[in-house]
Chains A and B, each alone.
Chain A
């Protein structure tokens, strides 16, 4: 204690401005970032709630306060209920179909099978392709006479061919496939990196007790990584809820009919194409609420911290 005082005292006396201006210094350092963050992120977030209570149809048109009317309109619109349903199907299928196969692949990779380095590079590749690139690649696969249909025909499955993007029964599935395709490799590589931190002795001990790989995966590797799996689930959930609507925008615009209309795309369409600004922000508030609730639920079910 005495020693600490000896070393710190002289500092405080010679540089007395240090202590006196600590608070001012803090706000000088933090202030600019905080102000910018408030203007460009927090204010728009708040404004979303305000605009959602306006009757406002177009940037140059007048707006009038309409209370909760936009929310009432949401409940009356078939498009909205279809978008909610499609969003739940989209997330309900794509989320588990991405994260769990990714975990299995990562676990298998963590035993360093032959070719694991090359496989990791291949697996991470889709994550490097931006949404427009991804959408346009899949456009080529989904053509009426594109690769998928040609492959199905060549193995004698003509009756399974579809006009994938223009068929109401497959359009949503076509969007889901892109997210699953892009997500598995990305999360597999990240899970692999996390699994590499698990000490080998843990697996060895389990093996001595007679556990096989499947048991080790379920009883050791998965629980140890549960916290991070939760982070991955949250991230992918948010991507599916919002980011994935870029695929809808680039490929189907919600169609045919509203068969691939998701909430994220519905928000975009109402805001920037139909220009029902107020209404679009009511959709935004619903999405925001779904996002918060979803993340809370994921956190609740995966929040167990193990030390290793």
Chain B
């Protein structure tokens, strides 16, 4: 949009609201970052002062107590598993929905779209019971499968709508040249759906990295994701906020790097297919 002259009151109110809100974000985040380098009594005495001696003890102790790096690797393996699981099944399903025109196609698409109405959290106990019945309770593989499948509706909608935009001619001419379906997918669909696939991967990444409750319920005690590990730093009786802050900071570093790199695609993904459903 072209910049046009805006009135003074509009600008003043806008800056006022925006800066006030920005302050409510900057203050707590700086507080956490500063606290990570301080000990508990110092935090309470001067919450926003710069650390007097730059101590990184909190980081080492947080790592020692909650095994944050192992937890991050665990999370990474869950993410990779869920991404692959999700994409493999959804890619072929989306192809079927987008490209094979049958009476059933619409119906199947409607079933998946209705999945948007199922809030995963509401079915947390039945999902737990199902794991128990299948004998896979506390198996990380079950959590991976659940993450992947609970994202089917979103992934299929995003991929199918991207595939519909590929002109039928492209496919036809490849077929005339003697390509079979698999080759058509490989040479026509995969290159042309790359950005939709990237969107799906990023959105799934954010979801799995941040997920807490299902991991809490479905994982065994000795396999912790990063989101389970961070709250471990909060002891029952005495709170050491320096330690907690260090844990939060460590857990935020990878996601923040991803965010800074992929900011545009994250927002694009969320506004295009991501939210609409």
B213 in contact (CB, < 8 A): yes
Q: Is A26 within 8 A of B105, CB to CB?
A: yes
Nearest first, the 5 closest Cβ-Cβ pairs linking A and B are: A29-B96, A44-B126, A108-B14, A33-B93, A130-B210
Interface residues of A in 231-262 (CB under 8 A from B): 231-232, 235, 238, 241-243, 245-246, 249-250
Pull 20 A–B residue pairs with CB atoms less than 8 Å apart, ordered by A.
Answer: A11-B176, A33-B90, A34-B93, A34-B111, A40-B130, A41-B150, A105-B17, A122-B26, A126-B25, A137-B29, A139-B234, A143-B241, A147-B27, A147-B48, A150-B47, A181-B25, A203-B1, A212-B7, A232-B275, A284-B122
Q: How far is the CA of A230 from the CA of B156 in the complex (A)?
A: 22
Total A-B pairs in contact (CB under 8 Å)? 283
Partner of B6, one of A181, A184, A213: A213
Interface centre among A10, A136, A143, A232 (most CB of B within 10 A): A136
| A295 contact set on B, CB distance < 8 A | 117
* Given known A-B contacts A36-B149, A136-B244, A139-B244, A113 and B231 have beta carbons under 8 A apart: no
Among listed B53-61, B187-195, B196-204, B255-263, interface-contacting one: B255-263
Interface centre among B126, B145, B248 (most CB of A within 10 A): B126
Interface residues of A in 200-251 (CB under 8 A from B): 200, 203-204, 207, 212-214, 228, 231-232, 235, 238, 241-243, 245-246, 249-250
| A203 contact set on B, CB distance < 8 A | 1, 4
Name the CB-closest residue of B to A59: B132
Q: How far is the CA of A248 from the CA of B43 in the complex (A)?
A: 25
* Given known A-B contacts A25-B100, A125-B29, A130 and B234 have beta carbons under 8 A apart: no
Q: Is B230 within 8 A of A132, CB to CB?
A: yes
Q: How far is the CA of A181 from the CA of B108 in the complex (A)?
A: 38
Partner of B22, one of A34, A113, A119, A137: A119
Q: Is B117 within 8 A of A44, CB to CB?
A: no
| Chain B proximity of A24: nearest CB distance (Å) | 10
Q: Is B119 within 8 A of A238, CB to CB?
A: yes
Partner of A141, one of B31, B100, B123: B31
Partner of A143, one of B24, B44, B156: B44
Q: Is A140 within 8 A of B35, CB to CB?
A: yes
Partner of A198, one of B1, B241, B277: B1
Q: Is A136 within 8 A of B234, CB to CB?
A: yes
Interface residues of B in 1-43 (CB under 8 A from A): 1-4, 6-7, 10-11, 13-15, 17-18, 21-22, 24-29, 31-32, 35, 43
| B84 contact set on A, CB distance < 8 A | none
Name the CB-closest residue of B to A48: B126
B141 in contact (CB, < 8 A): no
| Chain B proximity of A121: nearest CB distance (Å) | 7
Q: Is A129 within 8 A of B130, CB to CB?
A: no
Q: Is A33 within 8 A of B92, CB to CB?
A: yes
* Given known A-B contacts A29-B92, A140-B245, A295-B117, A7 and B123 have beta carbons under 8 A apart: no
B223 in contact (CB, < 8 A): no
B267 in contact (CB, < 8 A): yes
Q: Is A288 within 8 A of B234, CB to CB?
A: no
Q: Is B11 within 8 A of A113, CB to CB?
A: yes
| B260 contact set on A, CB distance < 8 A | 121
Classify chain A's interface size. Answer: 35 or more
Q: Is B100 within 8 A of A29, CB to CB?
A: yes
> Secondary structure at chain B's binding surface: helix, strand, loop or mixed?
helix
Q: Is A51 within 8 A of B129, CB to CB?
A: yes
Q: Is A190 within 8 A of B231, CB to CB?
A: no
| Chain A proximity of B12: nearest CB distance (Å) | 11
B227 in contact (CB, < 8 A): yes
| Chain B proximity of A116: nearest CB distance (Å) | 9
| B209 contact set on A, CB distance < 8 A | 130
| A267 contact set on B, CB distance < 8 A | 122, 124-125
| Chain B proximity of A259: nearest CB distance (Å) | 21
| Chain A proximity of B253: nearest CB distance (Å) | 11
| Chain B proximity of A183: nearest CB distance (Å) | 11
Q: How far is the CA of A213 from the CA of B11 in the complex (A)?
A: 10
Partner of B275, one of A105, A190, A292: A190
- Having A128-B252, A213-B10, one finds 7 other A-B pairs with CB under 8 Å, namely A15-B175, A26-B104, A108-B10, A140-B35, A228-B276, A235-B275, A292-B117
Interface residues of B in 136-194 (CB under 8 A from A): 145-146, 149-150, 152, 156, 172, 175-176, 180-181
B97 in contact (CB, < 8 A): yes
A300 in contact (CB, < 8 A): no
Q: How far is the CA of A129 from the CA of B32 in the complex (A)?
A: 12
A78 in contact (CB, < 8 A): no
* Given known A-B contacts A26-B96, A40-B149, A110-B1, A212 and B121 have beta carbons under 8 A apart: no
* Given known A-B contacts A44-B126, A101-B17, A241 and B1 have beta carbons under 8 A apart: no
